[in-house]
Chain A
């Protein structure tokens, strides 16, 4: 028998490596022949081959064993769609259900609690919106709570995704909530009307409850005892609404009387009648004429605002052009491009304007105090070296944060940048959390958990928002430099990605837009990563 020239030097037997390669038919013919001949005459090597062969079978059996059924989530074939109906349905049903929950359960409960003196509203106002000026936000607060419930509904749906993996399941669950809107709520019923295509509540008729109406042209000449919630092309109110008006419309004309608040999401809004409480509008063009009176405060996000009628409370506005000719009992705080205070205007409190130029104040205007001007710089000073130095510093700060994060939690860092690959999902989730968390924090501060949790959450949220650029930067770097392994490539990717983001950031118009995209995207990637890890931990704990 010839001694094999393969294997362990100084031994008459071949080694384990050679045995394995022989069994796996990876040796060339000559070496295979040598091993075969040797093992035929060598019991020890024959025994080695036998146990290695058994080990292969043992390993293969263990590895290919069908011990786990396919998860329910994977039952259906994945399909990439631009607008998953399940999530849209979830959002819609969630919103409807949340509103019902809010108006039918939470709000009456809060009212009852408030009646017996249990409320944290004042504390929140003091902490977040201190000063009499911000009293106007108490109105915003209600709308914020409403939005919060919608957001929380969607967040809850997302969190429950683990249990309802398929979108249809989630939609169905949220749909159950949505159906609640059809159920009669004691002492809080509502009438729902669909215009054909328009709807008119004639003069002399009265709706004793809330009125939900959708139509092309909605005309309210009669009386609505509760709230009026309307989706329409045009809305005209000549009668009386004793509750609030919530309008989603192109044009809102309010010539009648509103006992509560007006909240409008519209192209234009003209108020020609009295409003008992506050006005809040996301409206392109707002006109409050002389016949109108706003009993509370006005909070406006608009391009053009003309105020001729009196506002008893404060005015808070972000507006392109603001013209004030009426009386404002409280403070005025305006941020915009252009402000004119007419000769018939009166302001009982402080007047503050933030913009690129001084407001025009007519001679006859009566202001309780001089206008406090905050001059806003129109564009960054590209010609100064300090501007670029600051950009470098900002890049350095972001890189440092990324470095620390990578060293402390490399798995989260890399998983989050990997999750940024799911662009659509990450941005959707990011947007949800970007909006939802502040709202949830306010709710936590006011009603549910408490101030400490709320503020802590908010601080973490701010850090996460800042960190978002790190994940997107790493993702961008990877796209350009490839997937290198090791600390060096990771940091190189991060540095390059952040540098590119910083360069984009300084481009006029594109820069601010890119900042929001990066925040939404990176935040979503981070949330996806945390969710995945939490899911894994829960699964591990329950196993």
Chain B
């Protein structure tokens, strides 16, 4: 084989290796996004361990508003709708918003009736809920970071070419807290 033939072969091998590595990179980042989403769902489902106890305590104490009980029931049904297979950031947003409502309702009642704080179970439940919410928040952050890495991985050159020809993956939406962002007038010009 002539020298130019060897050079062309070498370039072809390098191009093929690059394409394979970009293709695999996109696949592994997609898997990481799916795994992170499953992490969010699994953290959300942890709420199922606490909600029955919370429901019991709220129904036992008439100091709590009736609306809290119905919110807890809605929350449980919404949690059942979440799927690990389908990335549904809107459904997640609804659950987070409902959870925030339940938490703030309970906190307001506990502030008005300090004797409720002395109930050990209530305190432990609130602590557990707060830690669970922290974990959900962290899982969402990990999900969003992975989504960013994935989106960047399909949009930069030459990855966009490989994705367009082989992977054919679309951008994934990051999760944004609509309830919080509604409080701002500022909207980024994206």
Real complex partners, A and B? no
Seen from chain A, the residues whose Cβ lies within 8 Å of a Cβ on chain B are none
Seen from chain B, the residues whose Cβ lies within 8 Å of a Cβ on chain A are none
